Amino acid sequence: MRLAKPSTIKRGTALRALRTLLLLPLLVIGLVSVQAQSPTYGVGRTPTENEIRLWDIAIGPRGEELPAGSGSVDMGSELYLSKGCAGCHGTTGSGGMAPRLIKRDAGPNADPWDYGRVLPIRSPYATTVWDFINRAMPLGAEGTLTADEVYSLTAYLFFLNDVVEDGTELNEKTLPQIQMPNRSNWVQVPDWLPGQPRLEGYPY
Amino acid sequence: MSQKKTDRREFLKRSAAVAGAVGLGAAKPALGQDHEHTPVAPEPEAFIRGSDEMTAYGSRSRFVNSVRIPHGGRESPDAFGLDFHIATPLQDSVGEITPSSLHYMGTTRGSFVPDIDPDKHRLMVHGMVDNPIVFSMEDLKRMPSVTRKHFIECAGNRSRSSHTTIQETHGMTSNAEWTGVLLSTVLKEAGVHADADWVVAEGVEEVKGASSIPMAKAMDDCLLCYGMNGEPVRPQQGFPLRLLAPGFEGIFNVKWLRRIKVVDEYYMTYNDYGHLTRDPVNAALGYQIGPKSVITYPSGGQQLPGAGFYEIGGLAWSGGGRVSRVEISTDGGRSWTDADIRGTAEPMAHTRFSYEWNWDGSECELQSRCIDEIGQIQPSRQQALDFWSTDGERATFVKGQDNSIQPWRVASDGSVHNAIS
């Protein structure tokens, strides 16, 4: 919160001083709201830094939460078989009962949206792919992959989709820097406000 | 109000005319259908002996067999015991509340229901806050609470011509009385930073399903629920704690909630990725549920015993707020009359409506249309498809969440059919 500079009152005209006085109640309200940032009820306990770090598996687009580690396309191709990915997603990344992981052939100069709904090519951010493998794969053994294994599998899926070259190694620094083809090729939903229609100008 | 009264008077006049016509025609008894004659007053089939089970936790009559069904083209449970989508039997619904045991269920990819010991469950609120907090369930129940009725609806709840019953066309929505703590209460307790715009809510199921929710919504009416219809939230609904984002598509209502992370950008979780589009119109319509309604009786697969009086009943709802009006058409959408709102319309809640109808026994098409408090009007399928059509191309699919009007065709033999083409 910004407080009025004391010098403003000294230098200003009577009118300005009066205006500041009129603003005073607002300032007081402002102070109260600042104080409201400390707990009102005091229920619950404060987690430790370590506890937060261990719980926090949500990786944002900037990748700040990514754990230290690294992995390679080569390692990923081995893990893809040894961890059972191929069993559901197909040995080539398609043809299994689980969602397809390799882009469809859309010809040269294809629009990224023509590759189909394939996470490691359609996702605007590399972090979404890392995050989902880490939290939700493999089926029945979720959460068992090490950070290095997740970096490797992510690298392999990006290689399958021509996002990275063969031999690429990924770590917590390089992964968020990958420019996914859809990085800017999507729209955010409009800002949500209470009581607003779904879409301005849409009567339904 | 006066309009409504006029409609009512008109209706009474018309009813009298119909009754008069029947009296003159005199082909059928004025008192509707003839039941089997019973020589004695009704008596029960048997008497139910008390049991410890019935004392402890009552059950419904053995003659009531309304059940949920698997939905979405996949078995629930599947061969592994995973649940995917389960639809509620709206055709049997009365009132506004869906019984907890019949509430619809959706999961993102098929999921086991987590078996959670509430004494061990925790909710962490952290990220861009002054005071990160871990709450036990006991802690949360000490916080100021609210109790509100809200519907939840799956984004994929849409009528297809292959569907025959309302359970298939609309069964992925339900309405319950939810009790818990406003998310805003907890966020204020934690002290959200001024530049925080989103929260990421995360569950404990195998996929650790997580959704990004705008701060404005989180601070407005999102609810951390531990109670549902007067008892703890059911396991399939997120026991012991679930998030409710009233009026938002089902996937935002994170179940088995363990974490709220306050952040400064859209996190593009896997759930968020499911909404990914480059069409701004599609993006806007796949978020907040539109104004919607459906006639539950008579509805597809039901059988009317014959001409005469019926109370048409149904449910209306909107993600935009309260239902302000529901209209009924008995002539396939050519003319519309106000239905009666039963009870009190509450924000983002199923609202029951009814309409007194004398069926003359000829084929007709019944429709209902919801108008909400912010003026959104439920479109006909035609209107929705018109919107999505371009000069060269006629749309065949309503994008975003489909809230178009459901037509039911009543055949002259009293059978009721899905009239979606």
ipTM value, please give it.
0.87
Mean pLDDT, residues B293-306: 98
Partner A contacted by B112 (CB < 8 A): no
- Which CATH number belongs to the domain containing residue B254 in this structure? 3.90.420.10
The pLDDT score that the predictor gives to residue B361 is 97
Three-state secondary structure call for residue B207: coil
Residue A9 vs residue B236, higher pLDDT:
B236
Residues B186 and B271 occupy one common structural domain: yes
Nearest-angstrom CA–CA distance, B267 and B344: 38
| pLDDT confidence bin for B324, thresholds 50/70/90 | very high
Which among B111, B123, B129, B133 is the top mutation candidate for probing chain A, defined by the most A β-carbons within 10 Å of its own β-carbon? Answer: B133
- Domains of chain A (ranges, CATH numbers): 6-35 (no CATH), 57-177 (1.10.760.10)
CA distance B133 to chain A (A): 5
Order of all β-strands in the sheet with B210-214:
B133-136, B122-127, B257-263, B198-203, B210-214
B13 belongs to a structural domain: no
Three-state secondary structure call for residue B160: coil
Determine contact, residues B316/B390, Cβ cutoff 8 Å. Answer: no
Strand partners of residue A70: A171
B62 belongs to a structural domain: no
Q: Give the residue among A17, A30, A58, A145 at the shortest CA–CA distance from B208.
A: A58
Residues B402 and B325 occupy one common structural domain: yes
Nearest-angstrom CA–CA distance, A72 and A65: 20
CA dihedral of B245, B249, B253, B255, whole degrees rounded to 10 = 170
B147 belongs to a structural domain: yes
For the cut 60, the answer to whether the pLDDT of residue A34 exceeds it is: no
The pLDDT score that the predictor gives to residue B390 is 86
Nearest-angstrom CA–CA distance, A142 and A150: 12
For the cut 80, the answer to whether the pLDDT of residue B290 exceeds it is: yes
Determine contact, residues B167/B104, Cβ cutoff 8 Å. Answer: no
Q: How many helices (H) and strands (E) does chain B have?
A: 9, 22
Determine contact, residues A170/A71, Cβ cutoff 8 Å. Answer: yes
Residues B331 and B404 occupy one common structural domain: yes
For the cut 70, the answer to whether the pLDDT of residue A11 exceeds it is: no
Determine contact, residues B165/B415, Cβ cutoff 8 Å. Answer: no
B17 belongs to a structural domain: no
Listed range (A116-130, B32-46, B289-303) with the worst mean pLDDT: B32-46
Determine contact, residues B227/B180, Cβ cutoff 8 Å. Answer: yes
Residue B225 vs residue A198, higher pLDDT:
B225
B229 belongs to a structural domain: yes
Residues B298 and B268 occupy one common structural domain: no
Count of domains for chain B:
2
Q: Would the CB atoms of B208 and A46 count as touching at under 8 Å?
A: no
Residue at a domain's end among B245, B276, B307: B276
B94 belongs to a structural domain: no
Q: Would the CB atoms of A43 and B283 count as touching at under 8 Å?
A: no
Partner A contacted by B278 (CB < 8 A): yes
Residues B243 and B162 occupy one common structural domain: yes
Cα–Cα distances (Å) from B327 to A123, A146, B262, in that order, read 42, 57, 42
CA dihedral of B392, B396, B399, B402, whole degrees rounded to 10 = 150
- Give me the residue from B261, B276, B320 closest to A58, CB to CB: B261
Partner A contacted by B16 (CB < 8 A): no
Q: Would the CB atoms of B284 and A199 count as touching at under 8 Å?
A: yes
The pLDDT score that the predictor gives to residue B308 is 97
The pLDDT score that the predictor gives to residue B110 is 84
| pLDDT confidence bin for B31, thresholds 50/70/90 | low
Residue at a domain's end among B251, B276, B301: B276
Mean pLDDT of chain B: 92
- Give me the residue from B208, B384, B403 closest to A57, CB to CB: B208
CA distance B71 to chain A (A): 18
- Give me the residue from B207, B261, B283 closest to A142, CB to CB: B207
Determine contact, residues A164/A158, Cβ cutoff 8 Å. Answer: yes
Residues B262 and B307 occupy one common structural domain: no
Tokens of B342: 């039963």
Nearest-angstrom CA–CA distance, A59 and A126: 10
Q: Would the CB atoms of B216 and A58 count as touching at under 8 Å?
A: no
Residues B140 and B246 occupy one common structural domain: yes
Listed range (B104-118, B132-146, B363-377) with the worst mean pLDDT: B104-118
- Which CATH number belongs to the domain containing residue B309 in this structure? 2.60.40.650
Count CA atoms closer than 13 A to A189's CA, side-chain side: 27
What does chain A come to in residues?
Answer: 204
| pLDDT confidence bin for B86, thresholds 50/70/90 | very high
The pLDDT score that the predictor gives to residue B7 is 52
B106 belongs to a structural domain: no
CA distance A104 to chain B (A): 18
For the cut 80, the answer to whether the pLDDT of residue A89 exceeds it is: yes
Q: Return the amino acid letter for B118.
A: P
Determine contact, residues A39/B186, Cβ cutoff 8 Å. Answer: no
Q: Would the CB atoms of A37 and B191 count as touching at under 8 Å?
A: yes
Mean pLDDT, residues B151-166: 96
Expressed in percent and rounded to 5, the helix, strand and coil fractions of chain B are 20, 30, 50
Interface A:B, Cβ pairs < 8 A: 178
Rg (CA), chain A: 26
CA distance B141 to chain A (A): 10
Cα–Cα distances (Å) from B84 to B1, B70, B75, in that order, read 45, 8, 7
Give the residue from chain B lying closest to A123, CA to CA.
B273
Q: Return the amino acid letter for A167.
A: G
Q: Would the CB atoms of A44 and B135 count as touching at under 8 Å?
A: yes
Nearest-angstrom CA–CA distance, A77 and B290: 45
Q: Would the CB atoms of B321 and A195 count as touching at under 8 Å?
A: yes
Residues B300 and B237 occupy one common structural domain: no
Nearest-angstrom CA–CA distance, B183 and B245: 10
Residues B128 and B272 occupy one common structural domain: yes
Q: Give the residue among B271, B394, B375 at the shortest CA–CA distance from B324.
A: B375
Residues B298 and B392 occupy one common structural domain: yes
Nearest-angstrom CA–CA distance, A168 and A126: 14
Determine contact, residues B298/B304, Cβ cutoff 8 Å. Answer: yes
CA distance B201 to chain A (A): 10
Residues B300 and B397 occupy one common structural domain: yes
Partner A contacted by B219 (CB < 8 A): no
B122-127 vs B257-263, strand pairing mode: parallel
Count CA atoms closer than 13 A to B170's CA, side-chain side: 29
Listed range (A59-63, A156-160, B313-317, B384-388) with the worst mean pLDDT: B384-388
Residue at a domain's end among B232, B248, B276: B276
Nearest-angstrom CA–CA distance, A125 and A182: 8
Q: Would the CB atoms of A142 and B208 count as touching at under 8 Å?
A: yes
Q: Give the residue among B162, B293, B176, B284 at the shortest CA–CA distance from B233.
A: B176
Interface subset of B 117-176, CB within 8 angstroms of A = 124, 126, 130-136, 139, 142-144
Q: Would the CB atoms of B126 and A47 count as touching at under 8 Å?
A: yes
| pLDDT confidence bin for A5, thresholds 50/70/90 | very low
Percent of chain B predicted with pLDDT > 90: 81
CA distance B69 to chain A (A): 23
Domain span at B385: 292-418
Residues B265 and B156 occupy one common structural domain: yes
Q: Which residues in chain B have their CB less than 8 angstroms from residue A35's CB?
A: none
B316 belongs to a structural domain: yes
Nearest-angstrom CA–CA distance, A126 and B255: 26
The pLDDT score that the predictor gives to residue A130 is 98
Nearest-angstrom CA–CA distance, B82 and B76: 6
Question: Which residues have CB under 8 Å from B316's CB, separation 6+?
Answer: B291, B292, B293, B323, B326, B350, B351, B353, B368, B370
For the cut 80, the answer to whether the pLDDT of residue B20 exceeds it is: no
Which among A32, A40, A43 is the top mutation candidate for probing chain B, defined by the most B β-carbons within 10 Å of its own β-carbon? Answer: A43
